[in-house]
Amino acid sequence: MFITIFIFIAILTILILVHEFGHFITAKWAGARVEEFGIGFPPRVFGLKKGETLYSVNLLPIGGFVKIYGEDGDKKNDTRSFASKPLRVRSSIIAAGVLMNIVLSVVLLSFGHFIGLPQVIDGSDVSGDISNIVVRIAAIAQASPAHEAGIRVGDVIDAMQSEGMRLDTIQTIENVQEFTSGHIGKSVLLSMKRGGEVFEKTVVPRADPPTGEGAIGIAMIRTGQVSYPWYRAPLKGAESTFFLVRDTVKAFATIIMDYVSTGALTEELAGPIGIAVITGQVQQLGFIFLLQFIALISINLAIINILPFPALDGGRLLFLAIEKLKGSPVNQKYEKFAHTVGFALIILLMILVTFRDIGRFL
């Protein structure tokens, strides 16, 4: 548990710092004065001032922040102030955090494609080098033999044994299905892998399972570790990031529409506790799965931040768009009030999701 919490905090801190670094470096490029770049959140433990910027390490370990001179809309007559910059420059500074999270995903997935990422290889056009072909669990039905045995999504079926018969070579889904159908109602010992861990689970295939569940209640995929040459890996990383962004946007749109129409949060939405639990599960599968997971979370962070909702980067961009349309800045009193209300609503949503996560995962 301690390792999981440490990894979760480390991932979240890296993602937020990368996001804040986007604001930081763009503000520096634009000539705005960056007063502080902080790792963690206050109270401050110590700080080092270099030039005009204080680089601080703070007590609360999650995330970080950037404090830009004049970002609250004042000091408009000072050329080093954020508020004095042209609208397009301010927009670039705000949007840079989101862009950096997308760039991080491209970098991580490019490295992953170079060393080899797990990929479904049946029915797909794979142009890279394939190794480590396995049959992996893709889904588990509730209350099924697999679920009761503690099998998890991502586990690999390495061998099967029952009544003195043993299947040591499993390279296709049909291998598992044929062995299972031949031992209905009998104990089947599954030799499995989860990352670097090797373990065994016993299941009893059902004679009459619910429709679509199968005898032991699993869906399977055939995967291989697919790698590409160094000169192709960045292109594949960018391509994978594009598809992840597209699919994540669709998922968020579905969640929002479902919430508006039903008032209920879908199972796909997870808060800090849910993400921490999933982090632990992914970490057990191995480094390469964790790498993909970090890239996915980075994309999620980018998309959430770009939503046109007060207190988020997208909300700040929305007020800049209003300024562009009306020809003058929005009254700072109203904008600050909107961001305060937006922040309160986000915290409320986080609390609701957290309580739901406690019921789901703990």
CB neighbourhood size of 92 (10 A): 18
Residue type, 8: F
Pairwise CA distance, residues 156 & 285, whole Å = 10
Phi/psi of residue 132, each to 5°?
A: 55, 60
Distances (CA, A) of 37 to 24, 45, 52, 159: 7, 13, 11, 53
Q: Which residues on adjacent β-strands are paired with residue 236?
A: none
Contact partners, residue 333, CB within 8 Å, separation at least 6: none
Q: Is 239 a catalytic residue?
A: no
CB neighbourhood size of 50 (10 A): 8
Q: Pick from 78, 67, 103, 149: which is nearest to 245 by CA?
A: 103
Residues recognised as catalytic: 20
